[in-house]
Amino acid sequence: MGKTNPNSKKLGDPNVKTRVTMHNGVHAVIFKSKDYNGVMAEECKYTLIGKFVKTRPNIERSRSSFVEKISLKSTPKIGTYDYRTVFIEVSNEEDCQTIWFRRSIEIDGMVMWLQKWNSDFKPEEDSPIVPVWVLLPGLLFHFHPWNYVKKILRPIGIPLSPDLATENRTRPNMAKVRVEVDLTKPRLNQIWVGQEDEANPLKGFYQKIEYEGVPKYCRHCKILGHSVL
């Protein structure tokens, strides 16, 4: 097998094709959706957005303070986007989650909110996709293993990881899992968990769902930190 080109990420995939045409009287270049939201976006999967509430500190100060406060396996690349926004790029999933799970970090007295980058990024909007702790009080003990509990949580969002007590099975009265949720969608407060077979009718139980540390999100302004009812 040939060696991986270290510059391949910088250069992009040469197999991505485009179509040159006209659109509404303007010269246009059209990408395939599967490339635009797939191959091309995948190359940025370990990129996060840092947004300060008003304005960001000096970029060199932001870089040094960030490295001091968050321990990572790789060296993050931090670049400015505008007066309040920075892009943070790392090289592996573990570092990406370590940063994202912090949700915010304070630099020189200014709070920077953290969010995952996506191909629909708009600087004036905050992403409603955030990691939150989801609690399942009284969950039957044989549902605590990761491969089972994450299936129960699929109606809520994308299960990311259990906390240590759930992973080590040392808190039998409750499971606790970090889940990627969409703040624009209603939060479920219970899930019905059932079992079935051909010989017996469907039976099951209602599992209570609780949430911890859910930030406010304004659907009108599309900004984290407050909400308009």
Last residue of a domain, one of 123, 142, 162: 123
pLDDT digit string (tens) for 160-218? 999 999 999 999 999 999 999 999 999 999 999 999 888 888 899 999 999 998 988 88
pLDDT computed for residue 77 by the predictor: 95
Parent domain of 138 = 129-218
Same domain, 114 and 139: no
Is residue 191 within 8 Å of 152, Cβ to Cβ? yes
Q: Read off the tokens for 38.
A: 């797939």
Among 79, 100, 123, the domain-final residue is: 123
Would you say residue 12 has pLDDT above 70?
yes
Indicate whether 21 pLDDT > 80. yes
For the chain, how many structural domains are there in total? 2
In a domain, 79, yes or no: yes
In this structure, the answer to whether residues 101 and 164 fall within a common structural domain is: no
Q: How far is CA 141 from CA 23, 167, 220, in A?
A: 59, 12, 41
CA–CA separation, 174 vs 82, rounded Å? 43
178: in domain: yes
Computed over every residue of the chain, the mean pLDDT equals 90
Q: Which of 100, 98, 106 is nearest to 73 (CA)?
A: 98
- On whether residue 208 sits in a domain, the answer given is yes
Kind and range of the H or E run holding 110: strand 110-116
Percent of the chain with pLDDT over 90: 72
**pLDDT tens sequence across 103-128:** 899 998 898 999 999 888 888 888 88
Q: What is the pLDDT of residue 4?
A: 46
Taking only the tens place, the pLDDT of each residue in 119-161 is 888 888 888 899 999 999 999 999 999 999 999 999 999 999 9
117 with 155, same domain: the answer is: no
The predicted structure's pLDDT at residue 1 = 43
The pLDDT, as a whole number, for residue 226 is: 61
168 and 113 in a single domain? The answer is: no
C-alpha neighbours within 13 Å on the C-beta side of residue 13: 15
pTM of the complete model: 0.78
CA-nearest of 86, 83, 178 to 133 is 178
pLDDT at 227 over 60: no
**At 200, which amino acid appears?**
N
Structure tokens at 144: 């605590």
Structure token pair of residue 58: 């000096």
pLDDT digits (tens, 9 = 90+) for 49-104: 999 988 899 999 999 999 999 999 999 999 999 999 999 999 999 999 999 999 89
Q: Quick one: pLDDT at residue 9?
A: 61
The answer on 139 and 117 residing in a single domain is no
pLDDT for the residue numbered 5? 53
